[in-house]
Amino acid sequence: MIKCLSFMLLATIFSSCEWSSASSSSAVPIPLVRKKIAYKKWLEVAREDFRLSPKYGNGVKMQEQINADQNFLKTVIAKAGTSDSASNHYFMKACDYLSYGDLQTTMYRLNQAWMLNPKNPNVYRGFGWVYNHLEEYQLALEQFNEGLSFDPKNKELLFEKSIVEKRLKEINRATSL
């Protein structure tokens, strides 16, 4: 599982994320057309749907949403055994959706994984992957750094951070010419 995930960022950089998690039982529909969504458009949609921002945009939820979250947490943790296990399960679901280019559902699942365990460094890897797909490399780097704050020696995060830093240097070099 970890070996597969460590190459996820490379796959997203080359826009060919063609792997899937054998451990997930979700049936993910393959989109007929893969569209590259621009970050500006993503932000417009995210204003109406806070689930498209990492950590739900740190927004204030209505009581109905809080109740739904509590029911979700109770049900999922009971089924998975622990919040860590449940968080990892939803992270893997997010990986499945990302492999099919479905950034919206990917972010939904990552936010659920975050809600289950806000200190799961893999969740921040996932947030970074979404930003990478949107070509928002600085935001991806911020997510990788936040994940490293919970696990400073996480090899996958360190590797992916180095790739994004290299990409940012290339962009800066190209724009300074």
Domain range summary for the chain, segments of one domain joined by +: 39-176
Architecture of the structural domain at 39-176: Alpha Horseshoe (1.25)
Q: Are 137 and 163 in contact (CB under 8 A)?
A: no
Q: Which two tokens stand for residue 36?
A: 């590259």
Residue 75 has pLDDT above 60, yes or no: yes
Q: What is the pLDDT of residues 41-68, one digit of tens each?
A: 888 887 888 888 899 888 888 899 999 9
Q: What is the pLDDT of residues 7-40, one digit of tens each?
A: 343 343 333 333 233 333 344 443 433 445 688 8
In terms of Cα–Cα distance, which of 119, 90, 120, 121 is closest to 106?
Answer: 90
Residue type, 74: K
